[in-house]
Structure 1
Amino acid sequence: MRAWAKKALLPIGTVMLALVVGAASAQTSDLVSKAAFRVCADPANLPMSDKDGNGFENKLAQMFAAKLELPLEYTWYPMATGFIRNSLRANKCDVVIGYAQGHEMVLNTNHYFTSAYTLIVPKDGPLADVEALNDERLQGTKLGIIAGSPPATHMARNRLLPRAKAYNLVVDRRHESPAVDMLNDLRDGEIDGALLWGPIGGPLVKADYPEFRVIPLLKETLPPRLHFRITMGVRQGEKVWARKLNSLIRRNQGEINAILEEAGVPLMNDMGTGLLGEPN
């Protein structure tokens, strides 16, 4: 929340401001359901979420509902333009299970995992031990990239874009799946490698593409960064609710990690410099 109240306000003004802010906060907190754990999610966004409950975010939601001793309820909306406005802000739900840290559209909880963009290549191919996009072995190759995603800048810097194949960034996953299309193209030899966000690429490879290797891009030293901390998102002003979720995250981090690891999500340390549990 922006600190817009000035210290120079008269005492009575300060008191009135506190009363107004306190009343608004109380009103906002009343929006959180006490009868159910209400989650906003995409109905066709595997490996993260789907209507049948098969995604790892579905499993995290089930775990949190159980810890809160509340039934789990969903509001389904495609993860595209208008998602937050038409779900969380419309008070149709109280939490988004996965949201990047620092986004102003929501109030972030503490992060519960860190992951990174990955390079996905055949296990027995010539690129199987490439760990950075400045590796000379990538010169002349054709890489798949989600248009506008952070690795594109690194590809441009390393002269990898001219031969790249771009896939759409914002889509309705009920009708189009760029990540799956990219991995199918890799399997068919249409591209030599795939650049995907780890929590998408890792689980897809684990489930359906055992011939591929998922390589987290941890050695890029120039911007933009390729690792991100993932939080839960709640409505702005819902600080009491956020603290309650923070407490659950802290007390159940081991169980959270187990769900993510089982799904195939590559987990990093908080600084994004190494895999979770390994030396930096």
Structure 2
Amino acid sequence: MQINKFLITALCLSCGLAIPPALAGQNKPLKVCAAENEMPYSNKAGEGFENKLAELVGKALDRKVEYVSWSDPRYYIRDTLDKGLCDVAIGVDKGDPRVLTTQPYYRSGYVFISREADKLDLLSWDSAALRKVKRIAFVPGTPPEAMMKAIGRYNDMFNYSQELVGFKSARNQYIKYETSKLVSEISSGHAEVAALWGPSAARYVKASPTPLTMTMIPDDNVRADGQKVGSHYSTSMGVRKNDPALLAQLNKVIEDKRDEITELLEKEGVPLLAEPNAS
């Protein structure tokens, strides 16, 4: 015989007993830390692919999704998740030391973007085309910056790179580069190549009026001093370090909904890679 869960809860409360763990927190909103304007990941209108993923997770857990917005990616874990304002951050690097991370729900990498008509031979950072083109768009502070220095193209791209800044926030002068703008540099012909994080660029590559091509950058790059420069990364969900119960629930959702998550990412156009330890 199935017993009404609300009746059990009422009896527990009236008798001073603890609510069974299976019922505790059930149907409470799932509060998701979400960027208010970091497309294609998330925005206040819910148009990002991480918004869609959050809704998928909420449905699987039978919990309504509520978003807690942040505007500066440098501090959002500290200012939202750590303070208990939200429960989960959807897109974090696997093993991020600030949080407990789930098993990865996708792996991707940095890509070269160019116009199909140009037929550039862009197989790696050693490609001769990268030494001949006039403009290469990239985001400072990312692996492509290190490799631009390694191939000797950083200094002659410095002024051009400053032209690509989207805006500076009021808080500590956070500088933002809009991926859509960098992709449009290639579509318009203003630049010949962009080196960008694939998931951030995929939507705009698909929408480009000029046919573009994305080429996955190999993960074997090193700086002049021999230090590895990573290009492939796995993405997970993050929860507070004192919330292993939610971590376990999210891991189960990722496992159970793997095909749906992959379909969502493929529809977005995200270039996907197999996990290194996958058979």
User: TM-score band (shorter)?
Assistant: 0.7 to 0.9
Deviation digits for residues 134-165 of structure 1 (CA, Å, limit 9, x no counterpart): 11122132211101111222222222223323
How far residue 189 of structure 1 moved from its aligned partner, in angstroms, is: 2.6
1:249 corresponds, among 241, 249, 254, to: 254
Aligned residue number for residue 47 of structure 2? 54
8 A contact 1:140–1:163 mirrored in 2: no
Aligned residue number for residue 113 of structure 2? 120
User: Which residue identity is paired with 1:270?
Assistant: E
Report the TM-score, using the length of structure 2 for normalisation. Answer: 0.79
Corresponding residue SS for 2:90: strand
Aligned residue number for residue 128 of structure 2? 136
1:229 aligns with 2:244: no
How far residue 219 of structure 1 moved from its aligned partner, in angstroms, is: 5.5
RMSD: 2.5
1:162 aligns with 2:143: no
2:28 corresponds, among 31, 35, 41, to: 35
Measure, in 1, the Cα distance between the counterparts of 2:265 and 2:187. 25
Corresponding residue SS for 2:95: coil
Deviation digits for residues 42-84 of structure 1 (CA, Å, limit 9, x no counterpart): 0111111111111110110111111111111000111423211
Deviation digits for residues 216-256 of structure 1 (CA, Å, limit 9, x no counterpart): 11253432110100000111121121111111101111110
Corresponding residue SS for 2:52: helix
How far residue 210 of structure 1 moved from its aligned partner, in angstroms, is: 4.9
Cα distance, 1:171–1:41 mapped onto 2, change above 3 Å: farther
* Unpaired runs of at least 5, structure 1: 1-30
8 A contact 2:106–2:236 mirrored in 1: yes
Aligned residue number for residue 21 of structure 2? none
Measure, in 1, the Cα distance between the counterparts of 2:252 and 2:49. 20
Measure, in 1, the Cα distance between the counterparts of 2:94 and 2:209. 30
Measure, in 1, the Cα distance between the counterparts of 2:25 and 2:179. 34
* Unpaired runs of at least 5, structure 2: 1-23, 170-174, 223-227
2:68 corresponds, among 58, 69, 75, to: 75
User: Which residue identity is paired with 1:65?
Assistant: G
Residue-pair matches, total: 241
User: Which residue identity is paired with 2:39?
Assistant: L
Structure 1 segments of 4+ aligned residues over 6 angstroms from their partners = none
8 A contact 1:115–1:267 mirrored in 2: yes
How far residue 170 of structure 1 moved from its aligned partner, in angstroms, is: 9.2
Percent identity of paired positions between Structure 1 and Structure 2: 27
Aligned residue number for residue 194 of structure 1? 194
1:264 aligns with 2:257: no
User: Which residue identity is paired with 1:264?
Assistant: G
Measure, in 1, the Cα distance between the counterparts of 2:130 and 2:25. 50
Deviation digits for residues 152-211 of structure 1 (CA, Å, limit 9, x no counterpart): 222222222233232459965xx9653122122223332211111011011221134552
Corresponding residue SS for 2:195: strand
Report the TM-score, using the length of structure 1 for normalisation. Answer: 0.79
Measure, in 2, the Cα distance between the counterparts of 1:255 and 1:37. 19
